[in-house]
Structure formats: structure tokens, C-alpha cells
């Protein structure tokens, strides 16, 4: 049996008529850059997340960068985040001229450890970016309490957490702002590049809107030095269609996660992900931990099962951030996870028999001596 890691075609086939009609409307209106279809999605997504505003931008990286810039983060500042994220989290900090500072993550959630946050704060710290990893939020209450004590902004990296919840509130509504990626493979994915920022701070939203559009307050009147970070109309229209299906898709992911967990209960060397007591996980990625990860992935591929690794090299050990001087051993939990994570196939249309096959093969291969795989 062949099991893909992701199957965007299956999702498209299920909503093709709705999507094609929405794209035809954009083409007919020639509303290609920003415009009414983006504005409609912004209103819908703000309501979904429980914020007063959402700002559509061109990518998740842009969402993080523009939000930090709008908050006044600049050269000489520091921004604290987690080392086990996609590099875009740190890149956004660097693009403002500030320095990314890392704290390690918790074993259970793989998100920022609040107990380690305060010791990382210096007089130069301007903001904190907790990363909602794999579809589960960070433990936000203690993070926000520490940040507020020190007068710091808090920006959610919610790029993997569309529809995730913390204490009953949706990701994107938990801090000063939430930043989302709508890259095609996300739980809510565009048909190209797109991102968004959610906030209930209207002044912050207005400033991000200006920055995404060359710093304009109105056409040809530039209040700030900005950039071209707009969302295009086709992506706005597609995202409006897909947003209606997101709750059902997330429910399907959660059901798949439950099935994986039950089927892997007997695989002693495989650690399945844990849903924290405060969270409603939406399983953008279903990452298990297993020894001998690289050999295991090769063996699964030979069985027809496509897997991934999120992420094999923590940010502080990337060549791009060698100048920070953080060596192996600096953040031991994040580094262990990077060596052990195996991301299993996870998408709403995954079939029961595919999940059963993946779990059976994983259990068999994980239990076998390395030479027998």
C-alpha cells in the first residue's frame, strides 16, 4: 500500500466546484491585489479566531516580520523564541535588525518552557514569540504573565495552529497578535503563498496594513517605509471557501490522531504526541519520537509510506545562525526532539486502512533490530 505524507489533490477534488467558482469571480472582477475578496476573508478569519481584526499578507514570514516591525522592534533589540521551529520565526526577527534569543522547550508539548523564559530576558528584550508547534498552542498564561511583568509584547507564531485552542480560546486571539501562514500544506492553505495577522489592537492592525502596502495611509501618501506584502485576491477568495471546511478538517485530523495513538500503544519505543490539558490540538503535523529515526524513515519509505522530519536541525545549530555562538547542548530538549521526530502521514482525507498500515509498519520496524529492517 502507498501512503503519501500529504494529499492536496484529494482535498481539492472535494471542493473543486466551490474553489473554481470563487476564482472565476475574482477574474471577472479583476480584483487581483488586495481588494474585496481579501477584505472578505480578513473579516471571516478575524471572526473565526475571535479578534476584531485580521490583516492578509503575502506569507507567514511576512506576517511575523511586519508584526514585529509594527511593534517597533528594531536593530539592537532582542526577541525571545523557541529553537525548534521553521527558520522563518528567527528570520523575521533578523529582518527587523533585532537578535533572536532562544529558550528550550518542554518535553511534553515541545513548545516554549515558561520556566526558562524569565532568565532569558535582558534590558534589550522587546518581545516574545511563543511557537504553537505542530497544531498545539504553547502554554500562554505563564508566558504572557512574565512578558507583561517586564513590559514585553507577545506575538503568537500560529503558523501551524489554525483553529487550535488554548483554555477554550482560539490561537491568534491569545496575545498582542497572532501570525499565520497559509502555505498550501497548512490546515488552512492557500493555492500559493499567503499569510495573515490577527489582533484586537486596531492601531497595530492599521500599522501592519500600512507596512504591507509600502507604508501608505492612502494611495501615494507614505507615512512609513514599508514593503509589498499584500495578499492577492485569488488567495483571499480560495481561503474564504476553505475556511468554511476547516472545523471539519480539523476534526478529521483529531480523529486520525486518536487512531494513531491507540494503534501505537503497543509500540514501546515509539512516543506518540501528547495533547496538553490546556489545549485543543489540531495536528498539523503528527510527529512521533523514535530512536534510529533516519533508518526508520528509510524502512518506512521502502514499505510505501512517506514520512517527514520537522525539524532535523534546530535553528541555533543552522549555519545561518552560527554567529549567535550557540553550540550543541545549548537547548537539550529541542536537540533531542530534532534527532528523534518522525512526522507520519496526516491529512483530513487519510483513510482508516492507511492509518492502520502506517501504525502496523511503524510498530514492526521500530521493534526490529536495526539490521532486520
Task: Clarify whether residues 178 and 269 are in a common domain.
Answer: no
Structural domain harbouring 83:
9-103+111-243
Contact 117, 103 (CB under 8 A): yes
CATH number at residue 165: 3.40.640.10
Would you give per-residue pLDDT tens digits along the chain (373 residues)? 999 999 999 999 999 999 999 999 999 999 999 999 999 999 999 999 999 999 999 999 999 999 999 999 999 999 999 999 999 999 999 999 999 999 999 999 999 999 999 999 999 999 999 999 999 999 999 999 999 999 999 999 999 999 999 999 999 999 999 999 999 999 999 999 999 999 999 999 999 999 999 999 999 999 999 999 999 999 999 999 999 999 999 999 999 999 999 999 999 899 999 999 999 999 999 999 999 999 999 999 999 999 999 999 999 999 999 999 999 999 999 999 999 999 999 999 999 999 999 999 999 999 876 545 4
Both 175 and 292 in one domain: the answer is no
Domain count, the chain: 2
Largest CA distance in the chain: 68
Does residue 208 sit within a domain?
yes
Q: Does one domain contain both 150 and 287? A: no
Whether residues 136 and 182 fall in one domain: yes
**pTM given for the model:** 0.97
Q: For residue 144, what pLDDT is reported?
A: 98
| Residues written for the chain | 373
Contact yes or no for 32/26 (Cβ under 8 A): yes
Residue 2 within any structural domain of the chain: no
Query: 22 and 58, same structural domain?
Result: yes
Query: Are residues 177 and 62 part of one domain?
Result: yes
Q: Which residue has the cell 502521514?
A: 345
276 and 160 fall within a common domain: no
Buried b / exposed e along 117-140 (16+ C-beta atoms within 10 A): beebbeeebbbbbbbbbbbbbbbb
Residue 36 lies in a domain: yes
Are 94 and 16 members of one domain?
A: yes
Amino acid at each position: 500500500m502507498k501512503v503519501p505524507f500529504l494529499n492536496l489533490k484529494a482535498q481539492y477534488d472535494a471542493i473543486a466546484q466551490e474553489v473554481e467558482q470563487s476564482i472565476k469571480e475574482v477574474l471577472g472582477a479583476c480584483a487581483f491585489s488586495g481588494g474585496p475578496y481579501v477584505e472578505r476573508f480578513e473579516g471571516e478569519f478575524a471572526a473565526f479566531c475571535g479578534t476584531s481584526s485580521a490583516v492578509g499578507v503575502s506569507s507567514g514570514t511576512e506576517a511575523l516580520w511586519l508584526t514585529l516591525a509594527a511593534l517597533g522592534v528594531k536593530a539592537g533589540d532582542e526577541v525571545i523564541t523557541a529553537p525548534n521551529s521553521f527558520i522563518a520565526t528567527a528570520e523575521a526577527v533578523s529582518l527587523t535588525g533585532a537578535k533572536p534569543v532562544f529558550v528550550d522547550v518542554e518535553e511534553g508539548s515541545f513548545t516554549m518552557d515558561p520556566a526558562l523564559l524569565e532568565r532569558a530576558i535582558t534590558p534589550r528584550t522587546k518581545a516574545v514569540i511563543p511557537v504553537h508547534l505542530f497544531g498545539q498552542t504553547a502554554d500562554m498564561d505563564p508566558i504572557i504573565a512574565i512578558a507583561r511583568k517586564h513590559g514585553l509584547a507577545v506575538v503568537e507564531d500560529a503558523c501551524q495552529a489554525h483553529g487550535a485552542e488554548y483554555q477554550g480560546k482560539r490561537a491568534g486571539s491569545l496575545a498582542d497578535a497572532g501570525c499565520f501562514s497559509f502555505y498550501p500544506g497548512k490546515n488552512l492553505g492557500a493555492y500559493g503563498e499567503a499569510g495573515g495577522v490577527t489582533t484586537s489592537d486596531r492601531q497595530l492592525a492599521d500599522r501592519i496594513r500600512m507596512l504591507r502596502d509600502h507604508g501608505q495611509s492612502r494611495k501615494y501618501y507614505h507615512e512609513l517605509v514599508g514593503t509589498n506584502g499584500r495578499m492577492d485576491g485569488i488567495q483571499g477568495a480560495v481561503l474564504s471557501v476553505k475556511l468554511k471546511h476547516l472545523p471539519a478538517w480539523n476534526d478529521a485530523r483529531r480523529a486520525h490522531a486518536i487512531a494513531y495513538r491507540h494503534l501505537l500503544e503497543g509500540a514501546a519505543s515509539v512516543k506518540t504526541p501528547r495533547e496538553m490539558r490546556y489545549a485543543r490540538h489540531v495536528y498539523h503535523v503528527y510527529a512521533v519520537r523514535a530512536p534510529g529515526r533516519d533508518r526508520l524513515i528509510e524502512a518506512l519509505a521502502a514499505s510505501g509510506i512517506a514520512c517527514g522530519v520537522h525539524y532535523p536541525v534546530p535553528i541555533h545549530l543552522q549555519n545561518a545562525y552560527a554567529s549567535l555562538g550557540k553550540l550543541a547542548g545549548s537547548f537539550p530538549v529541542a536537540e533531542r526532539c530534532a534527532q528523534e521526530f518522525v512526522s507520519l502521514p496526516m491529512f483530513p482525507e487519510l483513510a482508516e486502512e492507511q492509518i492502520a498500515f502506517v501504525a502496523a509498519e511503524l510498530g514492526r520496524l521500530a521493534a526490529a533490530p536495526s539490521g532486520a529492517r
